[in-house]
Structure 1
Amino acid sequence: MDKHQGGANKKQFLHINMGFFRRLRTAEGENHKCHLKHVGSASFLPALPKDASFLQKFKRKLKKSTLISEFNPQSLEYFRSKAEIFRIKRDHVQSQSWIIHPFSDFRSYYEMWMSVIWFLVIFCMPIEAAFDLFHHHADSILRTKYRTVQHNPFSLILRLICMTDIIITFCTGYTIEKRRKVVMRPLKIVKHYILSIYFIPDVLCSLPLDFFVNSHSTQRILGFLGFLRIIRILTLHTYTSRTLEIFKIRSIASRAIRNCVINLLVFHWFACFQYMIPQVRFFAYGEVVAESWVERTDLPDLNFISQYIICVYRAAGGLFCIHFEQMQVEIWEERLIAIITFIFGKVYMFFLTVVILNRLLRQRCLEVKYYETISQVQAYMSQKQLPLPMQIRLLQFYDYKYNKKFFQERSIISLLSDKLKGEINLNVCSKLVQNVSMLGHLPQAYLEQVVVNLKPEIYLANDIIIKAGSVGDCMYFLASGTVGVWTPSGKEVCHLQDGAYFGEISLVFKDKRRTANIIALEICEVYKLDRKIFRNTFKASSQLFNMLEEVANERLEITQMFEDVHAKTFMEIQH
């Protein structure tokens, strides 16, 4: 009884799993159209009754969105197998856990949304804390310590969203990148978040404490906590990167825009720091120092735009380590922020320089390897004392082969599967297939077989590709360049260019030797097809083989005609 029940469960499990893979995508990103019968759901959630209410459908859809998604790029990056992803999803459902998986669809959309929120928070909170933008007034806050409090509804909305983010974080699993592991236990998640550097700043900056006080000075002091949000700039960068990865946006322009935004936020924060420090002194000591740069420039009496531009001007001067006369400070707090700005600016400029140089070197890495290889080739030629014409030809070969960017083609190709090699060859030879009309008549299956077995070769000018009278074991397809056809007696017959093929005569006719000399007139790239593949491919298609045989007969007749004319002319000269 137990055996029958176990066998039935196993059979049902296997039968259900067949249905799950109908949703798997192919490498091209298209949905796999599975014709197998399937039972159940790919989410492993129980099916809803036909008369399910809207609330039931919503709860099921929400639960499904919190499970790990096989379409999330991070899922395959961590687990490398869709079977493993489905196993994790099944275990998540069976555990009845309410924890959100970090690689779920819900988390993906949530991070897209939070990318915008974190940008607004990181940009707006320091402005609110430093410039008191909402409470714009003619008499400066540095001159009026207590005033009637008004609240910014936009700031309140941001704080409420950030409080919601704290709750979502407690409900979301976290990853351990070194071990490629995802932790989904609630107690560990709570402990991990509380002990992180983000928890205390998140709580202090999210709670609207200043909305419950009536003193403007106290409100401003609480507002200074907004500067703790600077640690979330890394979170913004991470969320933005993941969003771009989900949408498969990997262009250089998107990276440049993202980096520019981060750099602008750095300048923005230091500009806010310039105005915040004098206010901290005022709230700490209750006095305005006449030597303060804020007081000397009458900054509080200006509008917000003027205040912000002046602060950006001072921050840029500090970050770029440029000293202006207007940047002279007398108070130790202002000197402290100036020192911090100078030091950070030095480190920041050095960091940017290293990043830019690294990008440039990575782009030119293959060129550097190419010239290193050329140096080795030159040393080889010098040691072997090769003649100058041979040295020139050897350098021409390397220049044409690598186009000044060296790469190890064999080591790259050796790691690929035969299927992928065939697809690459088909793509590389797409122009050749278009130019060679004969290949265009081949069925797709035979065409792939031919392309996979084509062997690329490069011939320099005046190289003999085929020698008359030799045994023919292959034919050639001319991808680029020009070759000349000569009879054995040395009479030039014609030129062949891109898309031409030659050498087929000795393959079509049994025991037939090469009937002409084929010589490269310039650097030529050809693809060689062996006799065995030729027989398996072209002889399988009688119509194509007959067409090839007709071409071979015509070329053979033309060559023979030139030979006959040459022999007749030679005999007449002898007589």
Structure 2
Amino acid sequence: MNRSLLTGPNNETMTRGWRSLFLPRVTKQSLHVYGSEAAVQKECDRQRETSSWVIHPFSAIRNYYILLMLVLTFLNLLAIPIGIAFLDSEHHFRAWEIFNLFSDTVFVLDILVNFRMGVITDQKVILQPKEIRHHYLKSWFALDLISAFPLDYIILIAKSFEEHSDTSSFSASKLVRVIMFARIFSLARLLRVSKLWRFFTEWEQVSNANMEAVRLILRIMGLFLMILLLCHWNGCIQFLVPVLQEFPEHSWVVRENLTNATLGEQYSVAVFRALSHMIGISYGSAEPPSDETELWIVMTSMVSGALMYTMMVASIAAMMTNGDAPAKAFRSKMSQLEDYMTYRKLPRELRTRICNYFQARHQGKWFDEEDIFKLVSRPLREEILNVRCANVLNSVPMFRNRDANFSNAVLLKLRREVFQEGDLITHPNAPGDRMFFVERGRVLVTTATVQAELCDGDCFGELCLLNKGHCTAMVQATSLVRLYSLSAGSFEEVLQGFPEIREELYQTAHERLRV
């Protein structure tokens, strides 16, 4: 055993002061990545040593910040088309202008914040500012820069210049129209919707839940929201064209007596008209389009309606046929397991424990790892196992700094095991035929003289591995724990090819027994 009794994280230290908002919290996601509360506390210590001004991906302040950005992005999604098409009065325009200036400011600041925001990559957290900067510049920086272009500040400066200059009324009117048309380019801010995908991807990386149901719900909600937004934007464009033409007498706005109507009435009729075009009920009014411009707007609405139908059919077909294959296989195995438990009339509590174990072991995905390993060469298998569990092996003194061929041979013999909270892993006087490496979780080791808690990176049973004796300690899982086991028989097979290491290890074991 590597370590004596470990104490849990000092909650008072983690929550003391505003700086604790930058540190990771103990949540389901952080426990899945780090394995235990003690490991989360170590991550807090690592961040304090790295930089106190880096926002950790599992910190409280990042959750608040993400919520702010998502709400602001959604408001932009709704407000920008309405502001461009409908808000022509000075009171409404100023409110919309203030909102846009605030959004531009927040999005520009967001770029700066991202240079100090920790990054999750392959269940690893990057906290070094230089690495964060390099990762951000290579990934999302260009898209964020385009979407955060401060167009409204430029419009404000242009308007201020126009108000203080001695331009003719024609030039002033032309400038106002150009400014109004330029506001359309503020739709580039809607590129910030990509943040929603980024956050969902990160959540999926660190979550051990079955994501298929959540993904399906999000797809349905996304499809429904996209249809609503398509109708919303289409209605705003329907009204924007007559606004740019200064409401000609033959326009549909004048025919419907909406020139001086309220904002709510104008918007409702415009969306109804757009929806009528999209679903092919009518032109949206009693008369057909009155001029060429209105005709093209109607045809565009009809085409967008056809696109909406195509998108609905394609999305539904994709949901039905292009599901997650490993998740489907997992559900099939889960259904088979439930049928078996029902057929054998197993008690309800036992059924629950079996289902929880199956979920924890496979995490919502079914892969036949042995079959996958048969598909690749031995060097590739060794590389895969080095990525997965080399750190676990190197944390044990008897395997540390060994020949790479010996380490790879041992890695090929490791077997992954999962124990639930309360499970007995070993008990006194039981045959000791294997050694265990703790990947994630906590176990309690109890002997006649000592009691110790082990967690990520620890091991136990190394003497039994060499001497094939009986266990002298009771080891019980105190949380969901993922282990790698190495049987004595498999280890003996490895040692046959490395006689020098075999002699050294057995000599060390005999010396420890004499002590």
- Length-normalised TM-score, structure 1: 0.44
Using CA pairs under 8 Å that are at least 6 residues apart, name the structure with larger relative contact order, 1 or 2. 2
Structure index of larger Rg: 1
- Length-normalised TM-score, structure 2: 0.48
